[in-house]
């Protein structure tokens, strides 16, 4: 099939072609021409233009009259079928949420023998704690590279703040800032597991009893274990004693680390002491409620539930260099002098780092 010719837009030439010389056929059709020698010179030029010619043959005699060069019009590419639009971020989140709900309803999720629910922690509980961590306390993390990328390790931190929010912020810091996205399994006091609702949430987050057996089991599995040896003495100390470490117990955490050959990572937390400035302790109320203390702060209990809102202090969490324990003999865990020395070394490292961070801090809130 012959290619279609480009028809120049010229009024005079169009009028000449509309003369009763014979009707033009469709694109590529033959054009009836009169006998040679008939017609004017202009008609002969017009017939010469209409005559088919090879596309590659240049046409001579083309002047500045604006005539078309005779090149063929490019063929239009066939229209491609529109691609399906990629799902938006909202659609992906919705699909992910529906899949999560389906697994919750059907029971297709895993919980370890301590009650830790990794999926619920990652998808829900961490998401609930993250605004408090990022926007409210604006936690700054230092030395995260001191936490091993794999294998068991014991993170030892100071404890403060009247309510144990420092442990939760420590969990978010390890999970969100560590390159390997590791999970921190905290050792908690017995009281945590006797409170309704709190017990279930703590188990789902991976918390377990602060006992040597549970800690040793987690370390043997290669987990990160967090312990705050000050216990209630640290979290419930008066505001006037802030950032002064209490006694670290009998050094049971050192014995556990020695038996597992796991490194000990000292951790210092600045900012938690001021969230609930504890100016008094209603001991009688505490005994009636079975609590280790009943805090009195400038806002609680005077403002009721509103007084339970923590102050938006600026936090800093710094992880120190790990103290190795794998170089000791297995019987070293039973050496009381070694345990005392290592316990004191960890405590002094945390206290010294607290002082350095406090000196550099410009303000409680900034």
Burial 355-365 (b: 16+ CB within 10 A, else e): eebeeeeeeee
More confident residue, 304 or 78: 304
pLDDT score recorded for residue 289: 92
CB distance 282 to 109 below 8 Å = no
Inter-residue contact 133 to 172 (CB < 8 Å): yes
Predicted pLDDT at 224: 98
For 74-82, what is the mean pLDDT?
Answer: 54
Task: Indicate which CATH number applies to the domain containing 233.
Answer: 3.40.1130.10
Does residue 45 fall inside a structural domain?
no
Query: Quick check: is 95 in a domain?
Result: no
92: enclosing H helix or E strand: helix 89-106
In this structure, is residue 13 part of a structural domain?
A: no
Percent of the chain with pLDDT over 70: 77
Range with lowest mean pLDDT among 24-28, 83-87, 243-247: 24-28
> If phi over 0 gives left and psi between -120 and 50 gives alpha, with beta otherwise, what is residue 111?
beta
For residue 232, the enclosing domain spans: 110-275+310-360
Query: Quick check: 74 pLDDT over 70?
Result: no
What does the angle CA 324 – CA 327 – CA 331 come to, to the nearest 5 degrees? 115
Q: What is the mean pLDDT of the chain?
A: 83
Contact between 331 and 268 (Cβ < 8 Å)? no
Q: Which range, of 50-59, 177-186, 351-360, averages the lowest pLDDT? A: 50-59
Q: Residue 234 in contact with residue 158, Cβ under 8 Å?
A: yes
pLDDT reported for residue 88? 78
Compute the distance between CA of residue 185 and CA of residue 281 in angstroms, rounded to an integer. 30
- Confidence class for position 250, pLDDT limits 50, 70, 90: confident
pLDDT at 353 over 60: yes
DSSP 8-state class, residue 323: B
Q: Could you tell me if residue 74 is inside a domain? A: no
The string of pLDDT tens digits covering residues 156-176 is 999 999 999 999 999 999 999
> Which residue has 């005699």 as its token pair?
61
Q: What's the pLDDT score for residue 78? A: 54
Number of domains making up the chain:
1
Bridge-based pairing of strands 280-281 and 295-296 is antiparallel
Which helix (H) or strand (E) segment is 140 a member of?
Answer: strand 140-142
Residue 22: the pLDDT is: 40
Contact yes or no for 8/73 (Cβ under 8 A): no
For residue 209, what pLDDT is reported? 94
pLDDT at 41: 44
Q: Is residue 121 a part of any domain in this protein?
A: yes
pLDDT-derived band of residue 46, with 50, 70 and 90 as boundaries? very low
- When pLDDT is averaged across residues 188-217 and rounded to a whole number, the result is 95
Crossing angle, helix 336-360 and helix 252-260, to 10 degrees?
Answer: 110
Closest to 358 in 3D by CA, of 237, 241, 245, 243: 243
SS3 category, 94: helix
Of how many residues is the chain composed? 366
- In whole angstroms, give the CA distance from residue 151 to residue 132: 29
Confidence at residue 34, expressed as pLDDT on a 0 to 100 scale: 40
Q: Are 227 and 210 in contact (CB under 8 A)?
A: yes
What long-range pairs does 209-218 form, CB within 8 A, spacing at least 24?
211/187, 212/252, 212/255, 212/256, 214/114, 214/187, 215/154, 215/187, 215/253, 215/256, 216/256, 216/259, 216/260, 218/114, 218/152, 218/185
Question: What's the mean pLDDT in 295-300?
Answer: 95
Which of 183, 144, 150 lies closest to 321, judged by CA? Answer: 144
pLDDT tens, position by position, 92-142: 888 888 988 899 899 888 999 999 999 999 999 999 999 999 999 999 999
Please check whether residue 11 lies inside any domain of the structure.
Answer: no
Note the Cα 315 to chain centre separation in Å: 20
Q: What percent of the chain has pLDDT over 90?
A: 67
pLDDT range class, residue 40, cuts 50, 70, 90: very low
- Across the range 214-237, mean pLDDT stands at 96
- Residue 352 within a domain: yes
Nearest to 319 by CA among 278, 344, 353: 353
Residue 34 placed within a domain: no
**Contacts for 49 with CB less than 8 Å, ≥ 6 apart:** 13, 67
- 61-75, 86-100, 230-244, 324-338: the lowest-pLDDT one: 61-75
Q: Is the dihedral of CA 285, 291, 296, 301 positive or negative?
A: negative
Between 89 and 211, residue with greater pLDDT: 211
Core vs surface per residue 47-68: b (16+ CB within 10 A) or e:
bebbeeeeeeeeeeeeeeeeee
What number is the average pLDDT over the span 342-349? Answer: 96
């Amino acid at each position: 099939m012959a290619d279609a010719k480009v028809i120049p837009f010229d009024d005079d030439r169009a009028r000449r072609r509309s003369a009763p010389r014979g009707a033009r056929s469709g694109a590529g059709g033959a054009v009836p021409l009169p006998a040679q020698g008939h017609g004017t010179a202009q008609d002969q030029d017009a017939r010469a233009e209409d005559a088919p010619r090879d596309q590659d043959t240049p046409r001579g005699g083309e002047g500045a009259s604006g005539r078309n060069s005779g090149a063929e019009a490019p063929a239009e590419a066939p229209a491609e079928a529109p691609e399906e639009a990629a799902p938006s971020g909202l659609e992906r989140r919705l699909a992910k949420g529906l899949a999560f709900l389906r697994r919750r309803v059907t029971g297709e999720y895993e919980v370890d023998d301590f009650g830790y629910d990794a999926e619920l922690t990652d998808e829900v509980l961490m998401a609930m704690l993250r605004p408090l961590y990022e926007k409210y306390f604006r936690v700054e993390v230092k030395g995260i590279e001191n936490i091993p990328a794999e294998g068991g390790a014991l993170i030892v931190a100071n404890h403060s703040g009247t309510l144990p929010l420092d442990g939760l912020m420590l969990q978010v810091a390890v999970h969100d800032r560590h390159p390997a996205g590791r999970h921190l399994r905290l050792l908690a006091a017995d009281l945590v597991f006797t409170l309704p609702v709190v017990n279930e949430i703590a188990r789902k987050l991976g918390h377990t009893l602060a006992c040597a057996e549970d800690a040793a089991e987690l370390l043997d599995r290669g987990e990160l274990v967090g312990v705050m040896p000050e216990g209630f003495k640290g979290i419930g100390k008066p505001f006037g004693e802030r950032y002064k470490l209490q006694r670290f117990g009998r050094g049971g955490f050192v014995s556990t680390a020695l038996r597992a050959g796991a490194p000990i990572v000292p951790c210092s937390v600045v900012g938690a002491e001021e969230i609930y400035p504890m100016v008094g302790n209603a001991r009688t109320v505490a005994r009636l409620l079975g609590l280790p203390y009943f805090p009195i702060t400038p806002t609680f209990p005077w403002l009721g539930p509103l007084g339970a809102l923590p102050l938006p202090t600026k936090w800093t969490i710094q992880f120190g260099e790990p103290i190795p324990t794998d170089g000791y003999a297995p019987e070293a865990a039973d050496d009381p002098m070694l345990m005392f020395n290592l316990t004191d070394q960890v405590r002094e490292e945390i206290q010294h780092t607290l002082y350095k961070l406090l000196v550099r801090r410009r303000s409680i809130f900034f």
